[in-house]
Each structure stands twice: as structure tokens, then as C-alpha cells.
Chain A
Amino acid sequence: MTTTDPTASFGGKPLKGQDPRVRPALVEGENETFSTVTEAVARVSEVPVKETNKAWLIGFGVSVTLLGVLGLMLLHLITTGVGVWGNNNPVYWGWPIVNFVFWVGIGHAGTLISAVLFLTRQNWRTGVNRAAEAMTIFAVICAGLFPGVHIGRIWVAYWLFPLPNQMNMWPNFRSPLLWDVFAVSTYASVSLLFWYMGMIPDLATLRDRAINTPRKIAYGIFAMGWTGSSRHWHRYERAYLLLAALAAPLVFSVHSVVSFDFAVSQVPGWHTTIFPPYFVAGAIFSGFAMVLTLMVPARQFFGLKHIITMKHIDVMCRILMATGMMVGYAYMIEFFMAWYGGVQYETFAFVNRAFGNYWWAYWIMVSCNVIFPQIFWSKKMRANLWVVMLVSITTNIGMWFERFVITVTSLSRDFVPSSWGYFSPTYVDMLMFLGSFGLFFTLFLLFLRFLPTVAIAEVKTVMPQAHAHGDHGHGKDGHVDADPTSYGTAGGGGSVAPASKQDA
């Protein structure tokens, strides 16, 4: 019974003062029942419009304003041309690509939490996976925006896809940029399916609680007539497992492919084999930072503290620190390779990164990504929500700068000194980036307000009541225990279900 290792979920180190054999409760509270969980989550979306949380309203107002700014900037860009950006010889990949990589990186934590932690049976994910998946989708939408408009003439964006056309031309499948089109669009659509599929049972819960017709119709349509049938659950869990198994390699492939955009080119500072793992680690890092940035206030405002517990935050802080150190390791190795490889251009590119024109960007990146997260060695700091918020935000900043450093410093100083330049963004660059946050938060706030923010059905499976008592069997050959489609076994309070093998 590997799944019942009582401490596996929390990094193998027992939390102080607890029996180390007992897995800490995933849902906190003395008298939690199934219906209190439903109540806690569903209540958020059922608040009448007039009683909407003030903080939500303010946040939504700001986000929609920024979204409007984004719309105006896009209009300006499309009607005028990409000259409105700061991109110019030699830095043709400026902020748009930096923003793309930034957002797509953030969009990795959701599927990672959902798929990889699901497959590795990290049951603590149930509290945060829904919101993380939503975050993924909204971040990927923001990410897709930038390369979409970066092509300049967006009305020929269909050239990116292998569609038969009057020019009798096909895209070049050997270009990493085309791989990117396939990777990102596959990722976006598969994440969307994954997220939506996870929500179907919870949408049915909202439908059945609905007190007025519009809600009943809206949730009813998207719940597709879900009844909770066990035969449906059976196929549903199978499909969920398959999706998780497919999404897990996908999530690694996507950021690897994004890194190929750089690594397959010849530019010094880009042309390195460490890029794929380095980018993936960075993506997980930035994704978890964003999850923390969003979840810490959300659990506060919407009263979900017993479902998204301090232990979730503790685990995520540790992951943040671990991935931060991986990223730091990659920074070091890059320098080592530049020196050890002995290519003068490569050596120059890296010395220039740290001490050249953009030294400030480099050191912001290093401090935010490598130095600040070290604070999480201290348990006290992991429990201090202000510190957690601060570090998760600086991590987001640091990761943006990482992409800036990679993209801009490398391009601005290539092989021929005569083509060197200095990149400066325009106001359009800045407002578009700001506007993308408007898009992201508008969607995210709508999600928080109207959809089940926590996987209600899944949380119930990790509660002690979810398990039949030991007087009946699991399966003749015990295969049920090894079946990862089951959401989880052990619950809190020490009522670990024994793996009894007798049949009824």
C-alpha cells in the first residue's frame, strides 16, 4: 500500500506534534460533512448580485478597465502595424515574445497540479487543482494573444495551420515556431477539456442547488445532464485518468518546445541544450508562484480556509523553493558552459548578460528567482501569508525578467558588433502587457464568482466518510488499490482505510 504512507503528501517530513504515521487531514475542521463542503464552495457562486463582495467588485472593475486598455492597444496595433512596438533591429523579439513565454510558463502549474500530482497520487491537490487549472487556461489565453498579434498581419494568422490554400503552400514543419503552434494550441485545448471535464459533476451540484431558472438553465446545459450515476463515474474516472496521463507529458513537451524557439537558433545565449529542462523548471516555478498569488487572497475572501489549508500553502512554498533552486542551477550551468565551451561569442554573451547594458535586469532576475525564495527554508516564513504573497509576487516579476534577459540581451548583442543595439519598449508595449493582466484577472474573477472554484466532488473523496468500512472487500485480487483512477484512499484523523482483501 504505497498510497497510505502517511507522510508522503507533505514531503516526507512529519509536521511537528503529530503522529508521524497519520496523514494530516486534507480538509480541516471538526464537523465537516459532505454537505458543508458543498455549501462552502457553492455558496460563493450563489451570492446574489447585489451582495457581491466589495473587494471582488473593485478588483473586477480594475481588471475590466485594463482589459479595455488591451483592446484599444490591439486596435491601434492592428490598424497601424507592429512598428508601434519597440521591436527593432536587432531586437525583433521584444516584449511580445517575453510576455508570451511569461504567460505560457504560468500556464503550466495548473495542468501540472492536476495531471502530474494526480498520477503521483498527491491527494492534497484536490483543494487547489480547479483554480490552478482555471489559471492555466486564462494564462494560456493571454499567452496565445502575443504571438498571435506578433505576426503583424493577423488576418493571415491561418497561415500558421496546415490548411489548403490558394497559394498552394504548406507550413514548414521543421521550424520550431510551427512546433510551438501545435504545442500551445494542443495544450490550450486539452487543458480546457481537462478543466471542463473536472467541473461537470460540480456544475451538476450547482444546477441542483439552483433556485432560479437562469441559473438552472445555464448550469444545467453545461452539466450535460449529469446524475452522479456510478456507471458514468466509472467511465468518467477512466477518462480523467487518461486525460491526466496524456496531459502530463504534454505539459513537459509544451515548454520544451517553447524553449526550442530559442535553442534551435544560432544566437549566442540561446543555442544551448539545457534550455528544455531549464524552461520546464522555470515554468513550474512561475506557475506555482502565480497559484500562490491567486489562492492566498482567494481563500481569505471566499471563506475557503478549511479547504485550501495552510498545509497546501506550505507544500507549494516548498515546491517554489525547490524549483527556484533548479532555475538557479540552470543559471550557473549556463555560465559554466559558456566558459567551458570556449566559444568567444558564447562567453561574451554571458559576461554581457551579467555585466553589460542589461545588468540590472539580470540581477533582478537572480535576486527574485534564486535569492528571495530561500526564505522558505524557515517554517515560520512559510506560515506567514504576507511573506508568501510577497515572495510569490517577486517570483512572478523575476520570471518575467528571466524571459526578458534571455530574449533581449542575446539579440541586442549578436555576432557582429555593427548590428548591436539597445531595446527600449514603447508605451504600447507596456500597456499591452498591463492589459494582458486585465484579461487574465477578468476571466479569473468571473471564474471565482460563478464557477465551482474547488473540485467539490474530489474533495469529498479525500474525506474520511468517503470510504466504506472495512467489513467488505475492495476487489478479489486487490487491484482496486493499485488503481489510480480512484481519487484517493486515506482520509484524515487516522482513519486510514485498511487494504483488506476479503471479498463480500
Chain B
Amino acid sequence: MSDQNQNQPEIHGVVAYYDDVDGVMNASRKIRDAGYKKWDAYTPFPVHGIDEAMGTKPTILPWIVLGMGLTGLVVGLSLQYFTNAVDYVFLISGKPDWSLPANIPVTFEIIILFSAYTAFFGMLALNKFPHLSNPLHKLERFKRVTNDRFAICVEAADANFDRARVEKLLGVGAEHIETCPTDTTRAALPIWFHGVAAILTCASFIPLAVAFKGRFATSEKPRYHVWPDMDWQRKRKTQTAWEGFPDGRAMRLPVAGTVAEGELRDDFELYFGVAQGSEVPDKIRYDVAKFGADAGAERPEWLAAFPAAVNVDEAFLERGRQRYTIYCSVCHGKQGNGMGAVAVRANALDAAQWGWVPPKSLLSENAKAYSNGELFHVASNGISTMAGYSGQVTAKDRWAIVAYVRAIQATQGLDQTEAPRDADYKPVPTIESVRVSDSSAAGQ
């Protein structure tokens, strides 16, 4: 007993040191068998078999890790389900919103992440780490435990602690025995540390305060751009002015005569409703009130029949019925009597008082008198207040509409004074009626 602390009443425990594995194993068994609870063996490396010699119960760590791994599974899947299938759905090539195989990699990684963190931090928590202040660290000799010594410490806190008996039990084969005093020193931090800590704590509120001010105060100045992103670039944008070019535009116009892909329109009959080679008509100016005396003076040579490029048959007519119903019927009505939904509603509101022009009946004599080409032209470019549909409807479809209008004109025979029929009334124009109107228009 080379121990000066013998008279000191407060001891943490008795520590015995051993040279080899056998020594510590044998002593461990004795202490275990003597029924001590608060004691431990300290070794430089994990000694094989010592758990059994000490009677250590298996740790519950694996179960905690399993639990967190399963949590990871649920979190991983529900994170992806919520973000990608509920809150922000990605529509990619018509694939389903939620397809498990694609979510497996991330789920797997999250399971591993959760379990690995739990294994590590769980170990720390169960071992009560970090635990920097330990009376054993004060013993000079104990430092060799992390090198080549094996030690056992029986703590005074144990209910059965009897110093003499413990020393006797540990003594066999021990290289040295000593008592460990309780740690009475309090490691106080230096004074300056408190000052610095106080200043840093206060300073750490500054950025937060600045952010709060920015969030809740208003300002005349434009927003401060920390990152300019691509907001300011050294380039000219479309539709802007620039002195660099003589014409003052930033955009260049296409070279004269440029034809866009698919826009060649060399078939005049198909695209303009006039004979090949004749002048391409402008928007029709029939309105004498608006355009003066020569309105409608120069009428182009309208095509009387259908262009060679379209094949007028049942399917074509059906296509025309569809297109007409979609694009024209809202105003001109399903039967073409000018009593479409828009017209009915506008009449109900007496919209004419605000200068509203009602759509015309397509069954009127005036409308019947149009040649096919002219009708096509109206459908394409509009007429006085009516807008054109060349942007929405392809040329062939416009011809299909013309065919359909011809058909309802031939079969319907109603005029705009007649009351509208039931909403589900469907005129049944036939291909014959188109052919008839074809020949009748030809005379014009």
C-alpha cells in the first residue's frame, strides 16, 4: 500500500493493476462472484471473454438500432411519397406519380443513415460520453491502462463495499493496488472565457436581428441581391431597343423571303381559297360604313369548289362538324342560326347597348351566297368584327368547316328569326348536300 490517501475519508474506489490478461480475468471472476455491482475492468483493448468473466449483460444497442432502422424505412418512404406523389407531383412521360422501384435507393440510404447514426450516438449515450471529468484520470498510474496495463476499480459507492475485503480479492496477481480519491477539484474556466463567451453570445444575435429587420420593415430601395444569379447579363433581350444596329432593334429580322419550316403555302387553293397564281387576298373590307365607297370593290377570284388537296367525303364532313362545334358554334350556334351560347347570353344581358355586334346567321341568303373560297377566307381571317381562326385551325380543317357550313346551309334552311332548337339538336347534313352546295356556289 504505497498510498498517501489512506486517511482521507472520501475515496472513489480501490484500483488494482495487472500485467496481463490472465490477471485481470481471474480478478474479474472473483469480484463478479463476490456480488459487487459498481465495478469495472479497464483494458487497453477489448479482451476476449471478459464480458463473461465480468457478468456483463448484452447491450440493448442492437435493438435501438433496429428500431431506428425501421424508422428510417418509414421516414424514407413517406418523405418521398409526400414530396413527390402528393405535394409536388412530377409528371414525367406519363409515368405513375408513385413507383416504388425508383424510390428504393434513397430509402435504403436513409435506413443506413438512421441506423448508423443511432449505432454511434447510441453507443455514446449508453456509455455516457462525453464524460471528461473522471477521478480515475487523476491517477498517474491509470494512464497506462490505455497502453499496456489492465486495471479493476471497485467503487466505494457499491453497497457491499468493504475496502479490506476488496483489496484482498483484487490482490492476487496484482502488480499494484491503490485507492482513488474522489475528485474534489472543480475545473473552473478562466475569467476571460466568461467575458468572451458573453460577447460572442450577444454578437450571435446581430445577424438574426438584421434578418428580422429585413423581413418585417419596408424600404424604398430595391432588394439587395446577394447573388445576382443570371439577372444581369451582358446581352440584349428579345423585343428591346438597341442603338447598335441602324434600325434600332436588338432583334434581327429574318432575311426577306425567309420561309419558316412548313409555312411555304405554295398551294393557293388550299391556303388562300383563290385560284393558283392570283393575288393573295387581305382581310375582306365589305363594310362600307368603315372603309368607304370602294369597300368590297376588288373581289378576288374566289375558288368556287374545294381545293384539289382535300378529299370531301363522310370522314371529312365529320371532321368539319367537330371543328365547327369547337370553334364556331359558341357564337354562330350549332345549327348555324347565329344563336350560339355567347349570343344567347349576350342577348339576355342586352349587350348591344355596349356596342356588341351579334354573330350573323350562317343560314342567311347573304351567307349562302359566299363562294367556298370566300367562306374559307372568312373562317381564316375573319370578317369585320369577327376574328380569324387560321391560328387555331389548320387549313384542311378550315376547309372541313366550310364543307360542314355548306352542308347545314343546304339541309337546315332556317333563318335567324327562327327560335333556337333544343341544345342537343343535331343537324344531319349529308355528303350529298355538300355536293349540291358545291355546284350551286360554282355559278357565282
Tell me the residues in window 79-138 of chain B with beta carbons closer than 8 Å to chain A beta carbons. 79-80, 83-84, 87-88, 90, 92, 95, 99, 102-103, 105-106, 108-110, 112-113, 115-117, 119-120, 122-124, 126-127, 129-134, 136-137
Asked if B40 is at the interface (CB within 8 A of a chain A CB), the reply is yes
Nearest Cβ in chain B — how far from A75, in angstroms? Answer: 15
A228 adjacent to B42 (CB under 8 Å): yes
Interface readout for B13-55 with A: 1 if CB under 8 Å, 0 if not? 0000000111001101100000000001111111111111110
Binds A, one of B56-64, B299-307, B360-368: B56-64
Nearest Cβ in chain B — how far from A186, in angstroms? Answer: 4
Binds B, one of A47-55, A101-109, A162-170, A412-420: A162-170
Residues of the B chain whose Cβ atoms lie less than 8 Å from the Cβ of A225? 129-134, 137
Contact A226 B146, CB 8 Å, known A174-B90, A487-B46: yes
Decide if the interface of chain B is mainly helix, strand, loop or mixed: helix
Contact of B148 among A38, A176, A486 (CB under 8 A): A38
Nearest Cβ in chain B — how far from A50, in angstroms? Answer: 25
Nearest Cβ in chain A — how far from B427, in angstroms? Answer: 49
Binds B, one of A82-90, A246-254, A356-364, A390-398: A246-254
Asked if A220 is at the interface (CB within 8 A of a chain B CB), the reply is yes
Nearest Cβ in chain A — how far from B105, in angstroms? Answer: 4
Asked if A237 is at the interface (CB within 8 A of a chain B CB), the reply is yes
Count of chain A residues with a beta carbon within 8 Å of a chain B beta carbon = 79
Residues of the A chain whose Cβ atoms lie less than 8 Å from the Cβ of B434? none
Interchain CA distance A262-B108 in the complex, whole Å: 20
Interface readout for A162-184 with B: 1 if CB under 8 Å, 0 if not? 10000011111110101100110
Asked if B385 is at the interface (CB within 8 A of a chain A CB), the reply is no
Count of chain B residues with a beta carbon within 8 Å of a chain A beta carbon = 76
Interchain CA distance A172-B20 in the complex, whole Å: 58
Residues of the A chain whose Cβ atoms lie less than 8 Å from the Cβ of B54? 230-231
Residues of the A chain whose Cβ atoms lie less than 8 Å from the Cβ of B127? 229, 231-232, 235-236
Asked if A351 is at the interface (CB within 8 A of a chain B CB), the reply is no
B56 adjacent to A35 (CB under 8 Å): no
Contact A249 B49, CB 8 Å, known A209-B143, A466-B21, A472-B25: no
B21 adjacent to A242 (CB under 8 Å): no
Binds B, one of A299-307, A314-322, A457-465: A457-465
Residues of the A chain whose Cβ atoms lie less than 8 Å from the Cβ of B110? 182, 186
Asked if B229 is at the interface (CB within 8 A of a chain A CB), the reply is yes
Contact A172 B90, CB 8 Å, known A225-B132, A235-B59: yes
Residues of the B chain whose Cβ atoms lie less than 8 Å from the Cβ of A35? 147-148
Residues of the B chain whose Cβ atoms lie less than 8 Å from the Cβ of A183? 105, 109
B112 adjacent to A173 (CB under 8 Å): no
Contact A201 B134, CB 8 Å, known A247-B116, A466-B47, A468-B47: no
Contact of A190 among B112, B123, B147, B226 (CB under 8 A): B112
A220, A242, A480: most-surrounded residue (chain B CB, <10 A): A242
Asked if B212 is at the interface (CB within 8 A of a chain A CB), the reply is no
Asked if B227 is at the interface (CB within 8 A of a chain A CB), the reply is yes
A238 adjacent to B146 (CB under 8 Å): no
Contact of A193 among B83, B105, B120, B136 (CB under 8 A): B120
Residues of the B chain whose Cβ atoms lie less than 8 Å from the Cβ of A209? 143, 147
B123 adjacent to A173 (CB under 8 Å): no
Residues of the B chain whose Cβ atoms lie less than 8 Å from the Cβ of A472? 25-26, 29, 49, 53
Asked if A384 is at the interface (CB within 8 A of a chain B CB), the reply is no
A189 adjacent to B47 (CB under 8 Å): no
B103 adjacent to A242 (CB under 8 Å): no
Decide if the interface of chain A is mainly helix, strand, loop or mixed: helix
Contact of A461 among B40, B45, B130 (CB under 8 A): B45
Asked if B174 is at the interface (CB within 8 A of a chain A CB), the reply is no
Asked if B145 is at the interface (CB within 8 A of a chain A CB), the reply is yes
Contact of A234 among B25, B51, B105, B120 (CB under 8 A): B51
Contact of A230 among B42, B65, B80, B123 (CB under 8 A): B42
Nearest Cβ in chain B — how far from A165, in angstroms? Answer: 11
Interface readout for A187-201 with B: 1 if CB under 8 Å, 0 if not? 001100110010001
B59 adjacent to A487 (CB under 8 Å): no
Interchain CA distance A476-B62 in the complex, whole Å: 22
Residues of the A chain whose Cβ atoms lie less than 8 Å from the Cβ of B229? 153
Asked if A131 is at the interface (CB within 8 A of a chain B CB), the reply is no
B52 adjacent to A468 (CB under 8 Å): no
Residues of the A chain whose Cβ atoms lie less than 8 Å from the Cβ of B59? 234-235, 238
Interchain CA distance A386-B151 in the complex, whole Å: 45
Nearest Cβ in chain B — how far from A120, in angstroms? Answer: 18
B59: nearest residue on chain A (CB-CB)?
A235
Nearest Cβ in chain B — how far from A255, in angstroms? Answer: 12
A205 adjacent to B146 (CB under 8 Å): yes
Asked if A58 is at the interface (CB within 8 A of a chain B CB), the reply is no
A467 adjacent to B116 (CB under 8 Å): no
B113 adjacent to A189 (CB under 8 Å): yes
Asked if A233 is at the interface (CB within 8 A of a chain B CB), the reply is yes
Interchain CA distance A465-B20 in the complex, whole Å: 8
Residues of the A chain whose Cβ atoms lie less than 8 Å from the Cβ of B124? 224
B43 adjacent to A173 (CB under 8 Å): no
A466 adjacent to B84 (CB under 8 Å): no
Asked if A43 is at the interface (CB within 8 A of a chain B CB), the reply is no
B147 adjacent to A34 (CB under 8 Å): yes
A174 adjacent to B21 (CB under 8 Å): no
Contact A174 B88, CB 8 Å, known A208-B147, A246-B119, A461-B45: no
Residues of the A chain whose Cβ atoms lie less than 8 Å from the Cβ of B109? 179, 182-183, 186, 250, 253, 257
Contact of A174 among B29, B46, B103 (CB under 8 A): B103
Interchain CA distance A186-B137 in the complex, whole Å: 36
Contact A182 B52, CB 8 Å, known A189-B113, A230-B43: no
Nearest Cβ in chain B — how far from A246, in angstroms? Answer: 5
B56 adjacent to A230 (CB under 8 Å): yes
A179 adjacent to B112 (CB under 8 Å): no
Nearest Cβ in chain A — how far from B171, in angstroms? Answer: 19
Residues of the B chain whose Cβ atoms lie less than 8 Å from the Cβ of A236? 46, 123, 127
Asked if A227 is at the interface (CB within 8 A of a chain B CB), the reply is yes
Residues of the B chain whose Cβ atoms lie less than 8 Å from the Cβ of A170? 83-84, 87-88
A220: nearest residue on chain B (CB-CB)?
B132
Tell me the residues in window 202-235 of chain A with beta carbons closer than 8 Å to chain B beta carbons. 204-205, 207-209, 220-221, 224-235
B146 adjacent to A234 (CB under 8 Å): no
Contact A234 B48, CB 8 Å, known A173-B84, A228-B43: no
A183, A220, A468, A486: most-surrounded residue (chain B CB, <10 A): A468
Contact of B146 among A189, A201, A246 (CB under 8 A): A201
Residues of the B chain whose Cβ atoms lie less than 8 Å from the Cβ of A489? 48
Contact A173 B80, CB 8 Å, known A197-B123, A234-B59: yes
B148 adjacent to A480 (CB under 8 Å): no
A173 adjacent to B129 (CB under 8 Å): no
B116 adjacent to A243 (CB under 8 Å): yes
A458 adjacent to B61 (CB under 8 Å): no
Tell me the residues in window 217-274 of chain B with beta carbons closer than 8 Å to chain A beta carbons. 226-227, 229
Residues of the B chain whose Cβ atoms lie less than 8 Å from the Cβ of A33? 148
Residues of the A chain whose Cβ atoms lie less than 8 Å from the Cβ of B65? 242
B116 adjacent to A246 (CB under 8 Å): yes
Interchain CA distance A497-B21 in the complex, whole Å: 13
Residues of the A chain whose Cβ atoms lie less than 8 Å from the Cβ of B115? 242, 246
Asked if A482 is at the interface (CB within 8 A of a chain B CB), the reply is no
Interchain CA distance A201-B144 in the complex, whole Å: 13
A174 adjacent to B102 (CB under 8 Å): yes
Nearest Cβ in chain B — how far from A342, in angstroms? Answer: 25
Other than the known A182-B106, A230-B42, what 20 A-B pairs have Cβ atoms closer than 8 Å?
A35-B147, A170-B88, A173-B80, A190-B117, A205-B44, A205-B146, A224-B124, A227-B42, A228-B43, A230-B47, A231-B40, A239-B122, A239-B123, A242-B115, A242-B119, A461-B45, A465-B21, A476-B52, A486-B48, A489-B48
In the A-B complex, the 6 residue pairs with the smallest Cβ-Cβ separation, listed nearest first, are: A239-B123, A34-B148, A170-B83, A225-B131, A208-B143, A224-B130
List 17 A–B pairs whose Cβ atoms lie within 8 Å, in order of A's numbering: A34-B147, A176-B105, A190-B116, A194-B116, A209-B147, A224-B132, A228-B43, A230-B40, A235-B127, A239-B119, A249-B108, A253-B112, A465-B20, A475-B49, A480-B52, A485-B46, A486-B48
